[in-house]
Amino acid sequence: MNKSWLALVLCCAVSAAQAENFMLFTDSQNPFTNAEGHAVVYLDRVKTTEEQLSELLVINPKAPDIQAAKQQLSAFLTSSEGQLVQQELLDAYAGLASAWSLGITHVPAVAANGYVVYGEPDFLKAQQLIRYAIEDAQEASHD
């Protein structure tokens, strides 16, 4: 096999792999359908996790005891439940950073290979729209 043919095959394989790297972004009010097996980034997850955390850490508003609150928070953060909440927050902020870096402005959104489909809650339809756009771009680059 000559080197140029091998390079073309590798290039196509990399392009196909990139096209399959779909990222799904939404919030709890706009769920996806047909997205089983795909990670979904919920952009309101930071807010909901922080709300759950504040419900767990109850402080008497009439007589706030800052020292007691610090102790309660410290005990919680070292507990197994606290460790899970911390990981949830880290994951949620990582999802927000991914959305921000891709310029996601609305949900639901499906992104892949430089393309974004907004407003399509059916992942399979959004996936197909992106694949069509990629195919069109590849055909246009060969013309």
Q: What is the pLDDT of residues 30-63, one digit of tens each?
A: 999 999 999 999 999 999 999 988 887 777 677 6
Burial class (CB in 10 A: 0-12, 13-18, 19+), 112: buried
pTM for the structure as a whole: 0.76
**Are 45 and 92 contacting, i.e. CB atoms less than 8 angstroms apart?**
yes
**Are 98 and 23 contacting, i.e. CB atoms less than 8 angstroms apart?**
yes
pLDDT of amino acid 7: 35
pLDDT of amino acid 14: 43
Q: What is the pLDDT of residues 73-125, one digit of tens each?
A: 899 899 999 999 999 999 999 999 999 999 999 999 999 999 999 999 999 99
Three-state DSSP state, 111:
strand
**Domain parsing of the chain, residue ranges:** 22-142
Which pLDDT band holds residue 68 (cuts at 50, 70, 90)? Answer: confident
